[in-house]
Amino acid sequence: MKATLPLLLILMAGGAQAQFGALDPTFGNGGVVQTEIEQPSVGNAMEVQPDGRILVGGNADSTSVIVRYMSDGSLDTTFGTNGAVVYAPVAGPGGREFTITEILVLGNGKILVAGRSTYYLSSALQQIHVSRFNSNGSIDTNFGGNGTGRLSISLSSQENGAAWEMLMQPDGKILLQATRTAVTTGSLTYRLLANGTYDGSFGSGGEALWAWVNYSHTHGRCIALEPDGKVLVGGWLASPTESDRFVRRLTAQGELDATYGTGGLVLLDEGDGYTEMVSDILLQSDGKLLVIGSVSTPAEQRFRVTRLLSDGTIDTSYGTNGNAMGPIVSGTIEPRRGRLQADGKLAFATNSTVGSVTRSSIWRLDANGQLDTSFGIDGQLVDPFGTGTSKTHHVAQQSDGKLLICGQGLGSDVLTAARLTSGQLVGVTEVGKQASMILYPNPANDNVTLRTEETFDRVEILDAQGRVLTTMLHTRGAVDLGTQLLPAGNYFVRTNSGGKSSTLPLIKQTP
């Protein structure tokens, strides 16, 4: 495993509270773990078990993989083989590719995953698959109704397909949202019984298929479950010139609910020529729905979160007229999954690509739809895995409020996970009322700058054994720490003001 720290590590003073959104130094190596089984590899989905262990699902080269970490970020060697399950759902002739796109932890400790399989014979064929594993990583052959531990949904030779999100109903039934692509694209919502077979009481034999003829493609990407059993599906509708966001509601029986929106559909259309996407929908406890996505033109790329009332109308009290809009970002933006926190704040990920370089961001909005300035820098944490090409795909949350993220980086080829602080850093004491410190870049190949509004009596660099290597007196503003001559390794920057000290971790890399 490899680890790194972000471009910026920010601490806000006052009551020993650290700025939300810093990497948690008690996890992995400086807050990050990277697990390299085969390259390229990626983490697409993650979930936290009740015992604090962390599951990440994705792929390693052309094979599905599930990795389990202990709560400190070390691999859980009791799971699979040395902490990982490498999984090919089906064997057979021809080239094959497998990936996991969603993962759930069940109440009995078993693990449910969904993904897709591609087979290369005379042409590419795809399947959507759902599999269940025992808590130790072995396949649970009681799932799927055929002794294999999986349900495979085959698509025709003219179709592609992908599974995107799963939910567990209170009665143990499983909701799965997928997309089927052929000449046109359709939204597929499945409901399975707890044993992995189709629930014939939902839709047509367990499947609710929907596509709107006014658009050439219907992308259903995410689902939410209302307390009365109704199912909300979010996604976007695409034509050759634009795409529009939508939310659709199904009854508990998988039929279109005409009491929602207009005939069962809420269409969010910003106008001609806009490219709109939906990556996640999250249901608040008051019945309001957060729709995470993006609204873009060639000149502007930015995230858009819209809040809907329970009847599907826009909640104009949220953000600006019902919308929270991010700043314009460089390149092409890709919204990803989010997490609704207990205090009503929303954290979610985006990736933006300029040329061949993709960089990720974690954003947090307050309950009113404004960027949460206590998180990262003005509500945004840039390059959470460190500087360089990386992607973030999923956000999870521990019971203590700390956020977990997974994706791919650095270099965009290694399965990566990280944990963010919930506001308290070990060993950090107050550095002065309303003061702040910024240490960057971190990790560093050359020199590091400490920027602060506080006047420090003393700034020291210590090695991993706590020995003082350099000392600077009476510093303020942007301070050159003179780290270019330090050998690669782990260090600490310690500041002192009025007898109160604060310590920041620092990683020096080989130039």
Distance CA 76, CA 72 (A): 10
User: Where is pLDDT greater, at 348 or 497?
Assistant: 348
Report residue 202's pLDDT band, with 50, 70 and 90 as the boundaries. very high
Residues 6+ apart with CB under 8 A from 112: 103, 104, 105, 106, 130, 131, 132, 133, 166, 168, 174
Residues 6+ apart with CB under 8 A from 386: 4, 5, 6, 7, 32, 409, 410, 443
Question: Which among 295, 407, 418, 307 has a CA at the least distance from the CA of 351?
Answer: 407
Residues 6+ apart with CB under 8 A from 285: none
Distance CA 182, CA 405 (A): 33
First to last CA, the chain: 20
118 contacts 102 by C-beta, under 8 angstroms: no
pLDDT at 319: 97
Residues 6+ apart with CB under 8 A from 170: none
Report residue 127's pLDDT band, with 50, 70 and 90 as the boundaries. confident
pLDDT at 429: 27
Distance CA 318, CA 369 (A): 5
pLDDT at 100 over 90: yes
Distance CA 300, CA 272 (A): 14
What strands lie across the sheet with 95-105, from one edge to the other?
95-105, 111-120, 124-133, 150-154
What are the tens digits of pLDDT across the range 35-69?
A: 988 888 999 999 999 999 999 999 988 889 999 99
pLDDT at 8 over 50: no
Residues 6+ apart with CB under 8 A from 182: 156, 158, 159, 160
Q: What is the mean pLDDT of residues 171-197?
A: 88
pTM: 0.78
Domains of the chain: 31-166 (no CATH), 436-508 (2.60.40.3080)
79 contacts 136 by C-beta, under 8 angstroms: yes
Question: Which among 309, 310, 308, 281 has a CA at the least distance from the CA of 293?
Answer: 281
Distance CA 143, CA 104 (A): 14
pLDDT at 18: 40
Distance CA 151, CA 148 (A): 8
Report residue 264's pLDDT band, with 50, 70 and 90 as the boundaries. very high
